Structure 1
Amino acid sequence: MSVSGDSVIIDTQGLANSNGEMMYHDSLVSPKSCIFKIPNILSRQNENAFTPDAFSFGPLHHEDPNLKAVEKIKLQYLQCLISRLRTSEIDLIKSIDGVLETKARQYYAESIKYTPEEFVKILLIDGCFIIELFRKDAYKELREKDDPIFTMSCMLQFLYHDLILLENQVPWIVLEHLFNMTKQQTHTQSLLELGIQFFGTTFSATPPTKILPLKDIKHIVDLLRKWLVSSTIEEKSNSEYWEVMPSATGLMEAGIKFVKGTSESILDIKFNDGILKIPPLLIQETTETAFRNLIAFEQCYTDCEAWLTSYAILIDNLINTTKDVDILCESEIIHSWSNRKEAVQFFNKLYHNTYVKTFYYGKLCNNVNGYCNRRWPRWRAVLVRNYFNTPWALLSTLAAIILLILSFLQTLYTMKSYYRGHDDS
């Protein structure tokens, strides 16, 4: 821009180039980025499902004044960890500084404003707290009598929520590095095993009995997702073309039976010979938080198959009314949901504003629809829907059938009497 007399000359080309360069640099996201700020289009359904309750982990919520109260607890955990080791805090800081700090920075899609020293300190305190939490959860002898995490029930509930927020993650490479540096021979479980054990009842009332080896874990959200996907799913049942399934009520009317599946993964849904097996889903305070953050991760991370999003779509197909919820509750597929209307709203809105390139239950839906479209299931559904949908309708239909049978018997008796009298004459 230049000034000439009373006129102002703006270098529009230079401004355009400058703005273009700024936009280019701002839009650059490392291909290694896997920790994201939640897009507004996903968070507006329920912002609380993406917001920390008490604990910040990583740099994105580090300066939130509402989360500063628990920083003392993190420092206590760090000191407790160091007191059991020969390693000092300075040694741990030096081990993160440099190459690992650079790699960890690339995990965040947002630009990290902290200096390397500040960033390393955040990673150290938060990372040591997480691995110490996992250890104390598994090894009770490590807990101190006045430990607020395990003596105050609300603290664990806060952590179950805050640790599974996509914005609130510490890179797994940092956690694993700190875990290996502070590992003791008496504690044989791996970080993977401790993490799965800590979150083992997030979706199911039954803790996992087997933990498969998982590779290239990005963070805790990715750990949960990979565990669900790999637990017992034998093959991908995706299909390029698929049709929406009827609701649970419609499927039951067509003669399909709902059976509680035995798989440890809620994703392992199977259909065979008129039986739909669905592993039970435990509903608790963190259920919506877990689902929404897992789905957000699938939507934001490029190298991520939409398994949880596909699951949400499938369950939404099954649930349209409170009657559908009743069917799934009676089959012990959904646990602990007292308000049926809330359940319908929850599942109907769970995957709103998401995109699925590949629906992984397409083949299953096609098989279910094929079964329903066979002649007898289709007729059965019509009979159930039109004649047996209420107790009064059932009684009326049975009364009509009884009257029809009695009328037939009366006619038969009359005809028999007539021919007998005719023969006698």
Structure 2
Amino acid sequence: RLKGKGDKISGLPDVILQHIFAYIPTKYAIRTSLLSKRWRHVWCDTPSLSFNSSILNDAWINQTPTGYTAPRMLHFHLKSDKNHDVPHIDKWLELVMSRHVENMVLSFLLVKYSFPDFFYVDSSLKQLTLKYCDMSSKCSVSWTSLKNLSLTRCSVSDESMAKILSGCPVLESLTLNNCHELIYLDLSRSLRLRTVVVVERSSSVTGPKVIEAPHIHYLYLRYAQFPCTLVDVSSLTEADVNFCVSTNTNGKETSLQDKVMNMLVKLRHVEKLTFGTNLLQVLSFTELRGVPFPMFEVKSLKLKTRIFQYVILGLKRVLQNSCDLKKLTLHTNNCSIKRVKHRDNCLALQSFSPAQLCRRSKVAGHWDVESKHLAMFVELVLQNTETLDKMFLVLDDRYRKFRKIFENFLTTTKSPLPFQIRLVVNHRV
């Protein structure tokens, strides 16, 4: 407040104040009604509301629906972790859906909540994010405007998912995060679906095990242990594949490698591929077994890994089998490399020792990545690619010494590089 000038914020139009309210928890927006008569009803037309359990049972907040006058809602975010919130949840859902909400985020950690039937019929929802929800309702689904659906740790069976998909005719993006009950994800009838993200971090229960998605263009897969089986991804143009963590496969290393190779066969036509560290390790072990790799049609390959002995053989084979590769990006991870038991076990099963793998890859056997390994990586690329136009090295702060090594490499090489190399060293990577 400026002396003699009054309150400039109070002088702003309601629509601007309500836009500001959309970015703060609703409880703070409602408290502004105590400031003065000017503020008493400003929040009532705010198109976005956000609640959690800490205020959901307060008497004053549950009188809010009677005073809320916004004809349409853009966003509604509700987070609850208490079972006694259920009656209030029903009331709020009924309110926001009657106001034609477009974007809804609901999280029910520790709450045994089943959606009422009216929740499954709505023509306004465009984005829906559900966490820890039970989606096992037997009623039909009709979300005719829904374009983006995200489910995290939701109870949803194959049958329930089929009902959801049939009721979302314009769905464009589907995210499934730790939805363990899914077995067969059939997306063949979702004609407009273009993006699918599947993250499964449980090492004991995984799902879905099979994915059929003939119309999608982008696929992101993160599995903690065994990857899924891809049935039909014939329209795919970009895929990002890796395992969340290195896990002990309990003697099933060969089965894991076979599953990964079967997946790569389905991805051989994809033009943009991203492979992570653990996937490259599996490919190295597969190369040791002499298993033939598919020929890839990839034009842009991104590697999210640090360069060390357990990824070299797989990486080399991928490069050799990518005859149309134009762009290669190495994006190093910030995580440290740790010994994982099953890697050495896998080598033992194939009568290889870690030292033999190092000799096969011609990289010194250090667990900590050193800058000289990156120089070896560049040399590996030079020896195994013929069509490459550009290579990007996006490195974290630990690789600062590589710049000098790389400059020395360029001065000692006998012929000019056949492709452009861009080096970025960033401590934030």
TM-score tier, shorter chain, comes to: under 0.3
- Bigger strand fraction: 2
TM-score by length of 1: 0.27
Structure with higher RCO (Cα < 8 A, 6+ apart) = 1
Structure 2 length normalisation: TM-score?
Answer: 0.27
More helix by share: 1
User: Over alpha carbons, which structure has the higher Rg?
Assistant: 1
